[in-house]
A and B are shown apart, each in its own frame.
Chain A
Amino acid sequence: DVKVTQSSRYLVKRTGEKVFLECVQDMDHENMFWYRQDPGLGLRLIYFSYDVKMKEKGDIPEGYSVSREKKERFSLILESASTNQTSMYLCASSSTGYNEKLFFGSGTQLSVL
């Protein structure tokens, strides 16, 4: 079965810190995604990547950047964390083609104090 692993389940950071959220998938999927989940707002797409070193902005990219140096790893970077970035962050991956269903990691609950 596909496994999407996020490096931390809970993370507490200070305002202004640089934060790295890591995601690794083990099924050679082309596509990887970063979402943030907030109560009442659903899952909002931050960035996605369809190949190594390729990235596209989602609906809410401001304050975030991403890196995909290897196919299996997709990192989300908060250059200078702010309190409004406190949220649950979910990583997902999918293959390309007919069976394009997304597989999610278990999420990282980030608190910025």
Chain B
Amino acid sequence: QQPVQSPQAVILREGEDAVINCSSSKALYSVHWYRQKHGEAPVFLMILLKGGEQKGHEKISASFNEKKQQSSLYLTASQLSYSGTYFCGTRPLGQGFSFIFGKGTRLLVKP
């Protein structure tokens, strides 16, 4: 029941772009994106609610296609500080406040 993230890992050079995808088999109320650096707790990036919205945070943005239960995270002009593991988190419709995460995507940005 975990959402499926792809790719599992990606290596970038500074300034390059990346897209991380998240797909759920369940209808969703919301999708969240979090970033976790090594040895630290996950930190919230953004939330997307059903309604097909797209949001941005500096050079990181995301979209949510509620019909397909898919979300994508877009990282543009990547910086070294973007390195970490990115998790999508989903709140399925009809399951109260249950909040399920994917397995994560490891992102490494090299100079």
Contacts and interface: CB of A to CB of B under 8 A. Distances in A.
Interface of A: 31, 33, 35, 40-45, 48, 50, 56, 58-59, 90, 94, 96, 98-107
A56 B94 CA distance: 13
A33 B99 contact: yes
Interface in B29-62: 30, 32, 34, 40-44, 47, 49
Interface residues of B, number: 25
Contact of A48 (B44, B89, B99, B104): B99
Contacts of A102: 32, 34, 42, 44, 89, 99
Contacts of A56: 96-98
B26 interface: no
B95 to A, nearest CB: 9
9 contacts: A42-B2, A43-B101, A43-B104, A44-B101, A45-B100, A58-B98, A90-B41, A104-B42, A107-B41
Interface in B7-40: 30, 32, 34, 40
B99 A59 contact: no
Contacts of A58: 98, 100
Contacts of A96: 97
B3 to A, nearest CB: 9
A42 B101 contact: yes
